[in-house]
Structure 1
Amino acid sequence: MSTTPTRHRNETGIVVDPALPTIVITREFEAPPERVFRAHTDPDLVAQWLGPRGLTMTIDRYDARTDGSYRYVHADEEGNEYAFHGVFHEVRPAERIVQTFTYEGMPDSVSLETAVFEDLGGRTRLTATSLLDSLESRDGMIASGAETGIREGYERLDAVLDGTQAAEEHRRIAAGFTARVRGAEAGRWDDPAPCEGWVARDVVRHLVEWFPGFLKTGAGIELPEGPSVDDDPVAAWQVHNDAVQSLLDDPATAGRTLSHPQTGDLPLAQAIDRFYTSDVFMHTWDLARATGQDEHLDPAKCAALLAGMLPMDEVLRGSGHYGPRVEVPESADVQTRLLAFTGRTP
């Protein structure tokens, strides 16, 4: 037996002790413990990542609480089924899960599994320890291809976490835009907006009109339509925003792809985060300025967007989405520099 070293932070490390019937797995994830824990306890999410590629998972029960139990069945393309069950001995939110694990094809072999979620400041280190009843059982598990299944499962978990991260980011960013929509005085919806030729309601119109078409063309998904922005911009935005959030919150979104000639194929949640949520963030400032509300944007988000845009200056400028860069002092705050880069006058 051997030890698999971790060469970089997101590689799965698997340690097999030659003297003890244990398997110790370490893996870091680009998500806080609360979300990694949820992906281990929400059956809708568990079904999307647990186990190797090529298997489908059917959950009979998954009661992830202290004294709860679980049973699920993996099936391959030939129809072969592999069932597993166990009991949760301790479930401590975002910290620790202790459970038993039994493969029903070997009912006399039971392992005790402990998963510990360590907070790395917005990231998570997961340490999962399996204690089997004998060295023979442990070696048999490894020989059956467990290492491949573990690694592929965690790669699939990365994709699930990308989706839940996109959902939370949209919830946060859209809340800021929603606050400006609801805070706009009725008489200001036709006031000029920073975008040339637009008034305040056109900022909302842009978001509720371009994205549904992008989504339908690239992913075959149709969002429900709300009232006209001309009749009721607040309701138009709310219907649209609720639909986008519901899509991101849907566990099935993690398995969907968006295809576009200019971007190729991307996981749907990643595409929404990259192209749409960022657009909502930028237009929050436009609506705030048009309607005389708070123009402050999250500095960390501003910095992340600016860092991603700077290397693409020529491409972005040539796309026609941004006007000429506005000159501001190098000492200006990051929001000012981001707005100026996109052609807005801070």
Structure 2
Amino acid sequence: MPDIELTARAAAPLLEIIRNVKPNQLDARTPCAEFDVRALVNHLLFWGPSLEGAGRKESVPPPAAAESDIDLTGGDWAADLEASVGRVVAAWSTPAAWEGATHMGGPMELPASLVGGMVVGELVVHGWDVAQATGQRPVWDDGLMDYVYEEVAKGAEQGRQMGVYGPEVTVPASAPTLDRVLGLTGRDPAWTR
């Protein structure tokens, strides 16, 4: 599977999820314990420019304002988020994005393939978070999920040490790949709202 397709394949279900979030669902809690839907949308909007910049080999620091300062009451937040995700997909849709090193919003260089894997995982896992909170059932293709599992497994322990992931949730080896990805990130695949 060519790397240039990964981000688009991860984003397609997320974009559908975004289009189906109703305004009264923004306060719904999500499986990502720190975030309700509104805070998760803020998180995706906040980090979008840095994820896009990483694909273009540009260091784009996150905005000076806190994630929680993004105001979703004015304008069309769904269109803003769709546009942001579209820019991230475009930035990661060239072979050069996946080669060499890049920055993730700061001065430290990281392998571009590692950052690309984090971007793809972010779109899938947070897409699932929003979907669960809003009663949606997205589907990502099996090949993509195998890739995401491998990428998340590589950094899961470090993610837990950094506080990005919660404690691993035990999931049977025979469970669907998405469920095993979720378990690695500290999410219970059986979570309900």
Instruction: Give the C-alpha shift of residue 221 in structure 1.
Output: 5.1
| 1:331 paired residue among 166, 174, 179 | 174
- Correspondence list, 1:141-220, <5 A: 165-166=3-4, 168-213=5-50, 219-220=58-59
Q: What are the superposed Cα offsets for residues 217-252 of structure 1, whole Å, 9 maximum, x if unpaired?
A: 9724589xxx94343320220221232234345788
Which aligned segments of 4 or more residues in structure 1 are displaced greater than 6 angstroms? none
Q: 1:243 to 1:329 in 2, by over 3 A?
A: closer
In structure 1, how many angstroms separate the alpha carbons of the residues matched to 2:94 and 2:178? 32
Bigger fraction of residues in helix? 2
In structure 2, how many angstroms separate the alpha carbons of the residues matched to 1:170 and 1:235? 19
Q: Gaps spanning 5+ residues in structure 1: where?
A: 1-29, 32-164
Q: 1:208 to 1:175 in 2, by over 3 A?
A: same
| RMSD, matched Cα | 3.4
In structure 2, how many angstroms separate the alpha carbons of the residues matched to 1:265 and 1:197? 27
Is contact 2:118–2:151 with CA below 8 Å preserved after alignment? no
- RCO comparison, higher one (Cα < 8 Å, 6+): 2
The structure number with the bigger radius of gyration is 1
Partner amino acid for 1:210? Answer: W
Q: Does 1:310 align with 2:153?
A: yes
In structure 2, how many angstroms separate the alpha carbons of the residues matched to 1:250 and 1:325? 33
Partner amino acid for 1:258? Answer: T
Q: Gaps spanning 5+ residues in structure 2: where?
A: 63-69
| 1:244 paired residue among 73, 83, 88 | 88
Q: 1:249 to 1:297 in 2, by over 3 A?
A: closer
Structure 2 SS opposite 1:219: coil
Q: TM-score, normalised by structure 1?
A: 0.44
Instruction: Give the C-alpha shift of residue 216 in structure 1.
Output: 5.5
Is contact 2:182–2:188 with CA below 8 Å preserved after alignment? yes
Is contact 1:215–1:222 with CA below 8 Å preserved after alignment? no
Partner of 1:283: 126
Structure 2 SS opposite 1:193: coil
Q: TM-score, normalised by structure 2?
A: 0.73
Bigger fraction of residues in strand? 1
Is contact 2:156–2:165 with CA below 8 Å preserved after alignment? no
Is contact 1:328–1:337 with CA below 8 Å preserved after alignment? yes
More off after superposition, 182-191 vs 258-267: 258-267
Instruction: Give the C-alpha shift of residue 278 in structure 1.
Output: 1.9
Partner amino acid for 1:237? Answer: L
